[in-house]
Each structure stands twice: as C-alpha cells, then as structure tokens.
Amino acid sequence: MFDEDCVVSGMRPTGPLHLGHYHGALKNWMKLQHEYPCFFFVADIHALTTHYEDPKDIEKNSWNMVIEWLAVGINPSNACLFIQSMVPEHAELSTLLSMCTPLSWLERVPTYKDQQEKLHERDLSTYGFLGYPLMQAADVLLYKTTKVPVGEDQVPHIEFAREVARRFNYLYGRDEDYEKKAESAIEKLGKKGATLYRSLLKRYQEQGDKEALATGQAYVSEQNNLSMSDRERLMGYLEGIGKVILPEPEALLTPDSKLPGLDGQKMSKSYNNCIYLRDSEAVVEEKILKMQTDPNRKRRSDVGDPDKCPVWGLHAVYSSEESKDWVQKGCRTAGIGCVDCKRNVIATINADLDPIRDRIAELSENESMVRGLVLQGCERAREVARETMNEVKLAMRLPVL
C-alpha cells in the first residue's frame, strides 16, 4: 500500500509507563509521527507470552497505555494507534509464517534463553514464548514496514524478521511462469541490454561476483522505459529471488533515554527505581527525597560531586542551564544542601508532568472517546493488513475469495 517508508512499533502492556519510556521510546515516536506514516500498537498478545498465568492486568494496562500515549502527545491523526489482538491479521500472519520458519532460527534468537533465565520464576517453556520473535516479525511484515524503532535489545528480533521475509520471498515469490516473465522482461532490454544483463546475471549467480550484482542493479534501475513491475522482476531475478512480497524491515535504533532511575541504574520496572507518568506530585516528591546522593557527602558541610550522584542525572535532563550551574557550584562548594537540590528538580519534574497528569485524568473520564479512537485505528490498520494477507495467501497458494 505504501511505496514510501513506513514505521511500526509496539509496546507490551505489562505496567504503567515511566519516565524512561517517555524520554526514550515515546519522544522518538513523537518525532517519527511527523516524518512517516506510523502504526503504534499495544502488544497485548506479546504480553501474554510471559504473563499467560496471570493475565488479569493486561486489559486495564492496554487501555491505560493508549491513554498515556495520547497524554504525552502521540497524535492519532498522525499515527495509527491500535491494539494488537483487535487486528486478527497479526495472529493469522504469524501462523502462516510459522509454516516456513525453521525451529532452529527461533531457538537461537539470543533473547529466548536470556529471558528464560532472567524470568526464571515463570514457566516460559511454551510454544508461544518460543514464537515471540515470529509474532513480532508478523507485526512488522504485515504493514510492509521499512523502519522499526526499537531499543538495542530488540535488534536481533528485527534481524530475525528480515530472515523470515527473505525466506518467504524466496519460497513463494516465484509464480509458475516466473522464469518466463523474467525472460520476456530481459527481451525488452534490447539486444545489447539483454546480453549485458545475462552476462552480469551469470557472473553473480555462478561466481557470486558482487560487483556484477551492483552493476546490474544500477543498469536495471536506469531502464525508465520498462514498467515498474518489469524492473522489479529483473532486480529479483538478478539476485536469485522472486518477487518481493514482504520487504525486509530495518531497525531504527531508539536513542537511549538519558534519564537514570532513582538508584542511578537504567530506569526499569524490574529494578523498582521508576517515576511513573501517573505518579502524583506527592509521590514524585517522596521518591526523590528518598534518593541516595553522593555517598561522600554525609553532612551538609561536606562538599559533593554531582557526577557521583543520581540526583544530578535528573537535573541533567530536566533543569535549565542556570539551575545546572547552581547545582554544580553549590554541590562542589557545599553552598547548597541535598534537600535544596532535590526540591529544585522535584518542582521542575512536577511542572513537566502536571499537564500530562491532567490529560491522563481527562482521558480516563472519557472512555468512549478512547475506545472510539482505538476502533478507528484498528480499522485503518486492518485495511493495510488485509491487503497484505491477500498477497500472502495468494503466494502461499491458499484459496482466496
């Protein structure tokens, strides 16, 4: 459907969003929504892969997640927002792709063993958990996504999706008269062109000569008098693949959030060091007042070093240059106390969160509007998804009506 780039990303609804999500993924999504057609979805089926034994919060978390996205500024008229399980084509494509996905590919995705070890209190020896990366591949291939904004940890999953797409195209991208059609496209290059193309084809296919491939690709892309589909066919034929039905997606690495957690480590629910978007002013204040500071600054009269203090990490993201100077000087000369320093950043964070909290409260009162938006998002997503499913079924020789 889209000839241009398009972006898809999802988040698992396993809990409320925190400032790490906000300064990492969400700010990046807000930028992307102005640059590409975007699909952002709540990955609720993915949440079940780890939470199948205690799914009770998934529904609430899913709606809350949509509300939080809207509250921070994801704009549903720019980006299509939906919930994965409401677009059944995700499950459908995942099933069809599973037919041609080697088990060994799934077993060697690094997150498989890592997560099983990390979440050892859960029994993750399920078919669904093993299939996690395949479902993620289906999520992105369904929209013929070219760009997938993800964190570093997810890059192997995108690499996996590329392999799945390549294999799919290789297996199902050649129809019966694939060769006949390619030959007739070659004829259209004229005598000289056809001879050139055939010799480059031979050099690449028989000797793996990459230079010949590159020359051939450049040559084909210049043939403006050929139709688009002939050009695509000649490209595919050159590479030894058929028609590209599912394009290979690319990871768009999300810049890491610079905001540390309350203990100075990366902010993460599992470290219990988060400030949540939904935390009240009083909770934000309490959490920050409890933070450890530079361990060498035991008394008010001791000088401190912001580089050894996680509170500085909050200032670094939130404070004005002027306040940062005030902290740097005051801390290093014992001119300010840690409580002064903390109160200053508490005020800034609370001022920033205030309008977000208000919008969360407002949207939470307006359930029917949120549901309506998601319904619209699902419908838009399904239009694209159905089209892809049709192509996939045709290619896999399934009967379609």
Q: Which residues bind ligand TRP (CB under 6 A)?
A: 8-12, 43, 46, 136, 139-140, 148, 150, 154
Q: Which of 243, 134, 101 is nearest to 185 (CA)?
A: 243
> Which of the listed partners (ligand TRP, ligand SF4, none) does 44 bind, with a CB threshold of 5 to 8 Å by partner kind?
none
* 203 versus 287: smaller Cβ distance to ligand SF4: 287
* 174 versus 342: smaller Cβ distance to ligand SF4: 342
> Which of the listed partners (ligand SF4, ligand TRP, none) does 139 bind, with a CB threshold of 5 to 8 Å by partner kind?
ligand TRP
What are 253's strand-pairing partners? 150
* 101 versus 273: smaller Cβ distance to ligand SF4: 273
Q: Which residue is nearest to ligand TRP (CB)?
A: 10
**Minimum distance from CB of 87 to ligand TRP (Å)?**
12
Distance of CA 365 to the CA centre of its chain: 29
* 319 versus 388: smaller Cβ distance to ligand TRP: 388
**Minimum distance from CB of 364 to ligand TRP (Å)?**
24
Please list, residue by residue across 219-245, b when 16 or more beta carbons sit within 10 angstroms of its beta carbon and e when fewer do.
bbeebeebeeebbebbbbbbbeebbbb
**Minimum distance from CB of 113 to ligand TRP (Å)?**
16
* 220 versus 309: smaller Cβ distance to ligand SF4: 309
User: Are 74 and 26 within 8 A, CB to CB?
Assistant: yes
Q: Which residue has the tokens 């398009």?
A: 6
> Which of the listed partners (ligand TRP, ligand SF4, none) does 8 bind, with a CB threshold of 5 to 8 Å by partner kind?
ligand TRP
> Which of the listed partners (ligand TRP, ligand SF4, none) does 309 bind, with a CB threshold of 5 to 8 Å by partner kind?
ligand SF4
Q: How far apart are CA 289 and CA 305, in angstroms?
A: 18
User: How are beta strands 38-42 and 250-253 bridged, if at all?
Assistant: unpaired
**Minimum distance from CB of 300 to ligand SF4 (Å)?**
10
Per DSSP, the three-state class of 255 is: coil
User: Are 272 and 38 within 8 A, CB to CB?
Assistant: no
**Minimum distance from CB of 53 to ligand TRP (Å)?**
18
* 83 versus 331: smaller Cβ distance to ligand SF4: 331
Q: Which of 14, 46, 7, 44 is nearest to 29 (CA)?
A: 7
> Which of the listed partners (ligand TRP, ligand SF4, none) does 312 bind, with a CB threshold of 5 to 8 Å by partner kind?
ligand SF4
Q: How far apart are CA 228 and CA 232, in angstroms?
A: 6
Please report, as a single letter, which amino acid is at residue 220. Answer: V
Residues forming contacts to ligand SF4 in the complex (CB under 6 A) are 293-294, 297, 304, 306, 309, 311-312, 327, 331, 336, 338, 341-342
* 151 versus 264: smaller Cβ distance to ligand SF4: 264
**Minimum distance from CB of 83 to ligand TRP (Å)?**
12
Strands lying side by side in the sheet with 7-11: 79-83, 38-42, 7-11, 147-150, 250-253
> Which of the listed partners (ligand SF4, ligand TRP, none) does 74 bind, with a CB threshold of 5 to 8 Å by partner kind?
none
**Minimum distance from CB of 383 to ligand TRP (Å)?**
19
* 145 versus 169: smaller Cβ distance to ligand TRP: 145
- Both tokens of residue 198? 């055939």
- Both tokens of residue 59? 């529904």
> Which of the listed partners (ligand SF4, ligand TRP, none) does 155 bind, with a CB threshold of 5 to 8 Å by partner kind?
none
Q: How far apart are CA 58 and CA 45, in angstroms?
A: 9
How many angstroms separate the Cα of 237 from the Cα of each of 216, 244, 287? Answer: 11, 11, 61
**Minimum distance from CB of 332 to ligand TRP (Å)?**
39
* 9 versus 257: smaller Cβ distance to ligand TRP: 9
Q: How far apart are CA 388 and CA 396, in angstroms?
A: 12
**Minimum distance from CB of 275 to ligand SF4 (Å)?**
16
> Which secondary structure element, helix H or strand E, spans residue 327, and what is its range?
helix 321-332
- Both tokens of residue 270? 């599992």
